[in-house]
Structure 1
Amino acid sequence: MFTYEMLLQRELEQDAMLWQTPTIALTAQAFLLTIALNPTSPAFATYLAAGLGLVVALLSMQLMAKHRFLNLMDRAHLHALEARLGIQHLSNRQYFYNNGTYRVPDWLANHKSPPAEHGLAKFRSYRVWIFGMLVFAAVNLAVIAVQIWAPGLLDAPAPTP
């Protein structure tokens, strides 16, 4: 049981780190895009900030993927350990999910099932966040492309007298 508890703790920590990654990345993106899109920033600062924003987006996607992989590995190990110990399979959250609805297993029959997922809750958060990081990567690439092929486009218009 000690092994199970330690493995469960590690899985929970991996899950926490997985969701800390996009939070930190969004902070970095906000800072870097503020510099890259500032019309008074020199071209070099725009290139540098947008390039770093692109790198942050790609690094964040890789780190999220790594945390998710390790989280899923720990969860699979927990599931196997639960089967071997003959205890309920609580480690696999998808265990209760089937065809868009959650179902409480018979061994928990006295408890009410949560409602079916609908709206935004239907989407897998991991995939949504990876897509969001791809959007940030594309925006940073677009800033670099505009700076190369249409310099001045991001500059503020000159005040009219």
Structure 2
Amino acid sequence: MPDQPTIDPEERRLIYATVAARRLQWDSLVWQVPVLSLTAQAFLYTIALGPESSSAARITSAVISIVITALSVTLMARHRQGEITDTQWLAKYETSLPQGYRQHGRPWQERRDLHQPDRGVFRLLVLPWPAFRTWVVGLGIFGLISCLVIVAAIIRPELFTR
């Protein structure tokens, strides 16, 4: 194996800072996707469930909702993949640091989990659920409901009238 080039400490800090910034950007993108998806879903459900909409409009908006669900989950997963990749790189890099200086991966996750934002029902109902999976399931429910809207618009269109 050829000799590895020596990297001076300033370059190492720059590389670390670059990967840390990129990880932060991936994390921001992960959570922007479901918010934008919810906005689109709300608009589409206004059409799909509105009493004045035709069956064709209901079916079309529900199909678009299904497509948005699939695209959002896929994009969210891809952003999460980048974020996890960088987090693992940073955690591996930090193994050479003393324990208190490790800010990524398991050490950070363990410190985070020690702190509870609430001691009541909120902690019991919400915190145990991983946020990424919860959002994927939630977006999937939008897709499932859209499938039901399509079926109802075809079989029982009178359900949508006043």
Runs of 5+ unmatched residues, structure 1: 103-113, 157-161
**Separation of aligned partners in 1, 2:117 and 2:53:** 49
* Residues 71/97 of structure 1: CA separation in 2 closer, same or farther (3 Å cut): closer
Please list the CA deviations of residues 56-92 of structure 1 after superposition, one character each: whole Å capped at 9, or x if unmatched.
11111111111111100010111112225x3532022
**Separation of aligned partners in 2, 1:62 and 1:115:** 30
Partner of 2:103: 90
TM alignment of 1:135-150, pairs within 5 A: 135-150=141-156
Partner of 1:153: 159
Give the alignment partner of residue 81 of structure 1, picking from 82, 93, 110.
Answer: 93
Runs of 5+ unmatched residues, structure 2: 1-12
Please list the CA deviations of residues 8-33 of structure 1 after superposition, one character each: whole Å capped at 9, or x if unmatched.
00000000000000000000000000
CA drift of 1:34 comes to: 0.2
TM-score (norm 2): 0.81
Partner of 1:111: none
Secondary structure of 2:36's match? helix
- The answer (yes or no) to whether the contact 1:101–1:116 under 8 Å persists in 2 is no
Partner of 2:130: 124
CA drift of 1:148 comes to: 1.4
CA drift of 1:96 comes to: 4.4
**Separation of aligned partners in 1, 2:161 and 2:59:** 14
More helix by share: 2
**Separation of aligned partners in 2, 1:54 and 1:13:** 27
CA drift of 1:101 comes to: 4.7
% identity of equivalent residues: 30
TM-score (norm 1): 0.81
Amino acid at match of 1:135: I
**Separation of aligned partners in 1, 2:116 and 2:75:** 32
Instruction: Please provide the CA RMSD for this pair.
Output: 1.9
